[in-house]
Amino acid sequence: MQENPLAPEGLWLPLVTPFREGQLDETSLRRLVRHYAEQPIDGLILAATTGEGLSLDEEEVERLVFVVAETLAAAGRPLPLLLGLSGSDTRKVAKGLARSTAWPLDGYLVTCPSYTRPSQEGMIGHFSTLADAAARPVMIYNIPYRTGVNLGNAAMLELAAHPNIVGVKDCSADMAQSFELLRRKPPGFAVLTGEDAFFHPMLAQGADGAILASAHVETCRFAAVWARMRAGDAAGALAAWHAICDLPRLLFAEPSPAPLKHWLWRAGLIDSPELRLPMLPASDGLAVRIEAEMDRCQALPAPAAW
Residue 34 within any structural domain of the chain: yes
pLDDT band at 4 (very low <50, low <70, confident <90, very high): very low
Q: What is the pLDDT of residue 3?
A: 42
Q: What is the pLDDT of residue 298?
A: 87
Helix (H, G, I), strand (E, B) or coil at 228: helix
Considering only the C-alpha atoms of the chain, give the largest distance between any 2 of them, rounded to a whole number of Å.
52
Domain of 90 in residue numbering reads as: 10-243
- The enclosing domain of 238 has a CATH number of 3.20.20.70
Question: Quick one: DSSP state of residue 54?
Answer: G
* 51: Cα within 13 Å, side-chain hemisphere: 27
pLDDT band at 1 (very low <50, low <70, confident <90, very high): very low
What is the per-residue DSSP string for 230-287? HTT-HHHHHHHHHTTTTHHHHHTSSSTTHHHHHHHHHTTSSS-----TT--PPPHHHH
Reference 57, options 24, 100, 14, 18; nearest CA is 24
| Distance (Å) of CA 240 to CA 209, 222, 233, 289, 305 | 15, 8, 11, 22, 12
What is the per-residue DSSP string for 152-214? -HHHHHHHHTSTTEEEEEE----HHHHHHHHHHPPTT-EEEE--GGGHHHHHHTT--EEE-GG
Share of the chain above pLDDT 90, in %: 94
The mean of the pLDDT values for the chain is: 95
| Bridge partner residues of 111 (DSSP) | 141
Q: What is the pLDDT of residue 201?
A: 97
Reference 196, options 253, 235, 136, 267; nearest CA is 253
H or E element that contains 91: helix 90-99
Q: What is the pLDDT of residue 5?
A: 64
Least reliable range by pLDDT among 26-35, 73-82, 155-164, 291-300: 291-300
Helix (H, G, I), strand (E, B) or coil at 24: strand
Residue 292 within any structural domain of the chain: no
Residue 250 within any structural domain of the chain: no
How far is residue 225's CA from residue 148's CA, in Å, rounded to a whole number? 31
| Bridge partner residues of 19 (DSSP) | 24
Residue 276 within any structural domain of the chain: no
304 has pLDDT over 80: no
pLDDT band at 6 (very low <50, low <70, confident <90, very high): confident
Per the structure, how many domains does the chain have?
1
Give the β-pairing of 43-46 and 138-142: unpaired
Q: What is the pLDDT of residues 112-170, one digit of tens each?
A: 999 999 999 999 999 999 999 999 999 999 999 999 999 999 999 999 999 999 999 99
Residue 262 within any structural domain of the chain: no
Residue 150 within any structural domain of the chain: yes
251-263 burial, b at 16+ Cβ within 10 Å, e below that, comes to bbbbebbbbbbbb
| Distance (Å) of CA 216 to CA 12, 150, 245, 271 | 10, 27, 14, 16
50: annotated binding-site residue?
yes
Q: Which residues are catalytic?
A: 141, 169
C-beta separation of 79 from 43 below 8 A: yes
Residue 283 within any structural domain of the chain: no
Residue 82 within any structural domain of the chain: yes
143: annotated binding-site residue?
no
Reference 127, options 103, 110, 115; nearest CA is 110
